[in-house]
Structure 1
Amino acid sequence: MIRILLFIFFLQSICSNAQEIFHKTTKLMGSRFDLTVVANDSTEGRKYIEIAIEEITRIEKLISSWDTNSQTSEINRNAGIKPVKVDKELFDLIERAIAISKLTDGAFDISYASMDRIWKFESSMTKMPSKEEIAASVEKVGYENILLDKANHTVFLKKIGMKIGFGAIGKGYAADTTKQLLISKGVSSGIINASGDMNTWGKQPNGEDWTVAITNPMNKNKAFALLPLKQGAVVTSGDYEKFVMFDGIRYAHIINPKTGYPSRGIISVTVFAPSAELADALATSIFVMGKDIGLDRINQIPNVECIIIDTEGRVHQSQNIKINEKTN
C-alpha cells in the first residue's frame, strides 16, 4: 500500500467559536497512522487522538494473526479441527470479506494467508518458482472453505493448515471504526490515514473540503491529481516498489490468490468508496482482475469509483469520477 499525499490547509476560522486542526503521526498495527481531528482546543484535540489510538490498538488485538492470543489466531490453529466461537464484530468482518470475495470472483480472499511464500520480491530471488511450486502454493487458499455459523458465531476453516489474515482490509477497517467512534464522541471533522487507507468526515475549520493528492506512480515526489474528499474513504494501492524481472517480464508483489501468479498490467489503483474497508479490498482486487474487468465491476457498484494507471502510464477511470490533474 502506498501513501496518499494529503494537503491540509491550516487556516483559522473567523467565527467566534473557531476550531483548530490537531495532528499526530504514530506507528500502529505495524504501519504508519496519521491521525487528524478538528477540536476546540489542544486538550480536547489530544483527548480525541488518544481515543483513536486506543481504538486502533483494540482492533489490532482482535484481528491480528501475529498475536497468538487473538481470536484470528485461534481460528487458524483449529483449521481442519473444529469451529471457533468468535465475537460478533470479528464474525461480521469475516462475513463481509467473503461477500467481497464473491463480488470479485475470488480476486480478494482473506484465506490468502494460507499461501506458501515462494515469491520473494527482492534481489535474493534469482529465478521464477516452477509451475508445480506455484500450483502447490495456493492449494489451501479458497474462501469457499471458510464456513460460518451465524447462529452460533463460529468460524471453521475446512482444511488443515489453512489460515485467514486481514492484511488487505485490517487497516481500512480500523480507520472506519475509529472514525465512527470519534463521531460518536462529538468530533465534527477529521481524517484517519492508515498508511494510505484514508477515511474522512466533516470539513476543515475554514469550511473547505479535505483535499487528497494522488501519488504519481511514475514520479513518487509529484502528485498526479487533486481531488476533494467528502464524507468518505480513499485507498491507493501500488505495486511499483516491490517487483522482480525475469526474461524481460515484470512480476509485482500483488499475487492472484487463485493462481499463485503475480498480477500484471497495472501499477496503481485508487478507489473511492463509502468505507476504507471496502476501498482497501477493491483496490487489491482490481490488480488481480485486471483493468477491463476491474473497471466493469466498479461501474456496477453504487457510490464507488476508481482510477487505474497501467504499466504504460495510461490513466483509466470509472464512469462518474472527475479528475483535476496537476500540470506541474
Structure 2
Amino acid sequence: MKTAIYVFALFFSLISFGQPPYKRTLKLMGSSFDITVVAKDADEANIAIDMAITEITRIEKLISSWDKNSQTSTINRNAGMKPVQVDKELFQLIQRAIKISKLTNGAFDISYASMDKVWFFDGSMTKMPSEEVIKKSVEKVGYQNIILNEEDHSVFLKLKGMKIGFGAIGKGYAADKAKALLQEKGVVSGIINASGDLNTWGTQPNGKDWLVAIINPLNKAKVFSWMPVKNSAVVTSGNYEKYVKFNNTLYTHIIDPRTGYPAKEILSATIFTKTAELADALATSIFVMGVHTGLDFINQLNGVECIIIDANNKMIFSKNIQLKNVQND
C-alpha cells in the first residue's frame, strides 16, 4: 500500500511505503503543523507528539511579536529607548539571524517587521506605489541597528518604531527544536512539518529514506521530481499565488527589505540543509537575490543545496545537488 503524506500542498509531498507512521495535524503558531513519528504503537506516538506540541508552544511564547507578553514584543516596545534583557535562547536566535543578514547583504533581515505596508496582494491595489512611498517604507529596516550585548544578553533597537519579527525563521526554528527534543527522548524517526518548513530524521517504517516531491508551482498536479531526504530540512519560498501586476511586470509578496520592492525573478526556491531555521532564512534570501546571484551564493556554501524554479518555469539546480538521486515523476 502506498500512503501519501502531503507536506506542503503547494510545493511538497512526502510518501511512505508500507505501514504508515503516526501523524497528527493541528494549528500552531497560526499555521498548520503536521507532526509525524515512527513508533511501536499509538500510545507511544501520542506521547511523542504531545511533547513536540509543548515545545512548539514554548517557542511561540518566546518569539511571537503578536503576544504582548513575549520577550520579542518587549524588545519592540522599547525600540529607541532602552536595551531589553532576554533569555539566552532568544539572544542566540537573534545573533544567528544577524549573521545570515550579513552573509546575504541584508536580503534576509528580521527587522523587516518595521516595514510600512504599501504593497497589498488581496486584489485591492489598483496602481503602483510611488518611489517616494516605497523608499519611506523601509526607513526603519536595517539589521545594523540591532545592538546586542553579549555580557547581559540584552537587545536594543536603535530607532524608535523599529521592530523585529521571526516570520521568516520562527516556524523553522520551532521544527528544529521539536525534532531535537524527540530525538533526545528516543524517537527514532519522524517529520516535523511547520507549514512547509520541514525537518526529518530517521527513515520510513520500511527503512527507506523519506522522499520529497518538487511540485510545479504553476500546476500543483505535476511533480517535477522526487528526492530523498535524510536527517535534514527542506524549505520552499514561493510566490505564484500572491502577487500584483503592473505594466506587464509581476510583483510578488516576498519583498526585498533593503529596497521595499517585491522580488520578481523566481517562482519558487527550495533549500535542502541540516536545519529548517537556516533553510527558511536562505529560501527567503534566494528569492530576494534573484536567480543568478542566489545560485552563486548557494554554490559557495557547504552542506546547502538549492532548486530554483524561475519565472519561465525552468528548474535550476545548485552544483551541490546530486542529480542521480533525483527520481523524475
Q: Same fold (TM over 0.5)?
A: yes
Using the TM superposition, give the Cα deviation of residue 225 of structure 1 relative to its aligned residue in structure 2, in angstroms. 1.3
CA contact (8 A) 1:97 1:109 kept: yes
- Residue number in structure 1 paired with 2:286: 286
Using the TM superposition, give the Cα deviation of residue 218 of structure 1 relative to its aligned residue in structure 2, in angstroms. 1.8
The alignment status of 1:7 with 2:14, answered yes or no, reads yes
Determine the C-alpha separation between the residues in 2 that align with 1:49 and 1:203.
17
- Residue number in structure 1 paired with 2:102: 102
Secondary structure of the residue that 2:160 maps to in structure 1? Answer: coil
CA contact (8 A) 1:10 1:21 kept: no
The alignment status of 1:326 with 2:328, answered yes or no, reads yes
Map 1:113-152 → 2, pairs under 5 A: 113-152=113-152
The AA in structure 2 aligned to 1:158 is: K
Determine the C-alpha separation between the residues in 2 that align with 1:191 and 1:64.
23
- Residue number in structure 2 paired with 1:73: 73
CA contact (8 A) 1:212 1:229 kept: yes
Determine the C-alpha separation between the residues in 2 that align with 1:236 and 1:120.
22
- Residue number in structure 1 paired with 2:302: 302
- Residue number in structure 1 paired with 2:166: 166
CA contact (8 A) 1:224 1:325 kept: no
- Residue number in structure 1 paired with 2:43: 43
Secondary structure of the residue that 1:234 maps to in structure 2? Answer: strand
Determine the C-alpha separation between the residues in 1 that align with 2:253 and 2:10.
16
Determine the C-alpha separation between the residues in 1 that align with 2:247 and 2:9.
27
Secondary structure of the residue that 1:8 maps to in structure 2? Answer: strand
Normalising by structure 1, report the TM-score.
0.95
The alignment status of 1:177 with 2:177, answered yes or no, reads yes
Using the TM superposition, give the Cα deviation of residue 325 of structure 1 relative to its aligned residue in structure 2, in angstroms. 5.2
- Residue number in structure 1 paired with 2:209: 209
Using the TM superposition, give the Cα deviation of residue 322 of structure 1 relative to its aligned residue in structure 2, in angstroms. 2.9
CA contact (8 A) 1:4 1:212 kept: no
CA contact (8 A) 2:11 2:220 kept: no
Secondary structure of the residue that 1:295 maps to in structure 2? Answer: helix
Normalising by structure 2, report the TM-score.
0.95
Determine the C-alpha separation between the residues in 2 that align with 1:194 and 1:2.
12
Determine the C-alpha separation between the residues in 2 that align with 1:90 and 1:222.
40
Secondary structure of the residue that 1:9 maps to in structure 2? Answer: strand
CA contact (8 A) 1:2 1:238 kept: no
Using the TM superposition, give the Cα deviation of residue 317 of structure 1 relative to its aligned residue in structure 2, in angstroms. 1.1
CA contact (8 A) 2:10 2:220 kept: no
- Residue number in structure 1 paired with 2:5: none
- 1:20-77 per-residue CA deviation (whole Å, 9 max, x = no partner) reads 6110011100111010001111100011011111111110000000000000000000
Using the TM superposition, give the Cα deviation of residue 11 of structure 1 relative to its aligned residue in structure 2, in angstroms. 1.5
CA contact (8 A) 1:236 1:268 kept: yes
Secondary structure of the residue that 2:16 maps to in structure 1? Answer: coil
Using the TM superposition, give the Cα deviation of residue 2 of structure 1 relative to its aligned residue in structure 2, in angstroms. 6.7
Map 1:221-260 → 2, pairs under 5 A: 221-260=221-260
* Runs of at least 5 residues in structure 1 that lack an aligned partner in the other structure: 13-19
Using the TM superposition, give the Cα deviation of residue 6 of structure 1 relative to its aligned residue in structure 2, in angstroms. 2.7
Secondary structure of the residue that 1:297 maps to in structure 2? Answer: helix
CA contact (8 A) 2:117 2:137 kept: yes
- Residue number in structure 1 paired with 2:33: 33
The alignment status of 1:273 with 2:280, answered yes or no, reads no
Provide closer, same or farther for how the CA distance between residues 219 and 3 of structure 1 changes in structure 2, counting only shifts above 3 A: closer
Using the TM superposition, give the Cα deviation of residue 8 of structure 1 relative to its aligned residue in structure 2, in angstroms. 2.7
Identity rate of aligned residues, in percent?
65
Determine the C-alpha separation between the residues in 1 that align with 2:23 and 2:15.
11
